[in-house]
A = this chain, B = another copy of it.
Amino acid sequence: MLIGNHNAARKQADATFQNTHIYVKDKGLYIFATKECAGEGYDGRISGTNKFFHSLKIEAELCNVEGVYMSKNHGPFERLQDVLSDDMSAVNTLISTRMSSENAPRIPEVTAHLVEAGGKRLRPMLTLAAARMCGYDGDDHVKLAATVEFIHTATLLHDDVVDESGQRRGRPTANLLWDNKSSVLVGDFLFARSFQLMIETGSLRVLDILANASAVIAEGEVLQLTAAQNIETTEEIYLQVVRGKTAALFAAACEVGGVIAGAPEDQVDALRGYGDALGVSFQIVDDLLDYGGASSALGKNTGDDFREGKLTLPVIMAISQGDSNERTFWARTIGKRQQQDGDLEHALELMAKHRTLEATKVRALSWANVARKSLAPLPDSPLKTHLDELAEFVVSRIT
């Protein structure tokens, strides 16, 4: 079966996998689970990675193997996966082992979905790459990579907790496995496991970095919550939210790789700077894609953020340039989340009028450039090249 591009691939996947669970069975496989086709209770936990998968440009042959699409296409991410495949296998084994709980059978029940659903493990890959490119030849980077993935997964689980106030709009009804309480408690378990793992490295500096990242992540999430319905939210606050909820873990994932390898301080700083900028870029791209990207091509998931009243960069920019009529519109639809048919289309018109999707794209590209430039102090190596290309690849989703 030949599928020429991402949209066609998704359409095909949607048709094939309607209401089924899709697992990634091996590395190098793509998952096309969308909110609509992933089945009840399956959505959300992997939404971040989902979007990443969705947006891959697939130009090579895809074949349907046991309900899973396999791609033979190799981008920078796959090249990283190839170089680090032994390390990543060790990370996956460690994750499986440490996710289990003899005492509470529900924990493996819930986490099994997360493990099998996989995700590209972008964050642990950063840790592995950073450690290896700084010449590390021990085993602790595997523990740290698993730690980073546990923190990420716990965050996704907690992000999935909803209130009764209608925020569940547009989302599938949670089933027993996925109720609020389970999400919170299993997330807590993963947080605890992540700390157990990082403690095993015996490096207080690494512990410090990851504990600080955890605090910044929580602060970012809380800030997002308070900013959520305030249409006065500035680009500066948006950046602070993004730094917290996304970039902090990217930065820490890179930094601890360098630290565990005993890299010189300027290289550790470089890795941290790379992770931070890559994370910011990654999140801006994600937020832009939610409105169909700079081309504002309308897809079936377009406008999820709008419906949820999330103040992301394209909207923030449109509000700041809007006249009083437009601000009234934003105050109603985002501020009070009183929405009706046609509002999303009107919102997209306003963004087009002020060209905020293009402006958002410029920001994303600029952060990807910061990421690439941050790598300068690191000695040349194939891994450095892969990381450089990865920064380009992240924004290739919108170019």
Contact = CB atoms under 8 A, between A and B. Distances in A.
Interface of A: 101, 103-107, 158, 161-165, 168, 174, 179-182, 184-189, 191-193, 195-196, 199, 202, 204, 207-208, 211-212, 214-223, 225-226, 240, 244
B207 A184 contact: no
B180 A161 contact: yes
Contacts of A105: 226
B215 A192 contact: yes
A211 B199 contact: yes
Contacts of A196: 208, 211-212, 215
25 contacts: A103-B216, A103-B219, A103-B223, A103-B244, A104-B223, A161-B180, A161-B181, A162-B181, A163-B180, A165-B179, A181-B225, A182-B225, A184-B184, A185-B225, A189-B222, A191-B191, A192-B212, A192-B217, A193-B215, A195-B195, A196-B212, A199-B207, A199-B208, A199-B211, A204-B204
A185 B218 contact: yes
Nearest to A195: B211
A255 to B, nearest CB: 15
A164 B164 contact: yes
A214 B195 contact: yes
Nearest to A213: B192
Q: How many of these chains are in the complex? A: 2
A251 to B, nearest CB: 15
Nearest to A202: B204
Contacts of A226: 104-106
Nearest to A174: B163
Contacts of A188: 158, 191, 214, 217-218, 221
B202 A214 contact: no
5 cross-chain pairs, A with B, having the tightest CB-CB distances, nearest first: A189-B218, A192-B215, A192-B214, A104-B222, A195-B211
Contacts of A107: 219, 222
A330 B189 CA distance: 31
Contacts of A218: 104, 185-186, 188-189, 191-192
Nearest to A160: B184
A253 to B, nearest CB: 16
Contacts of A244: 103
A104 B211 CA distance: 17
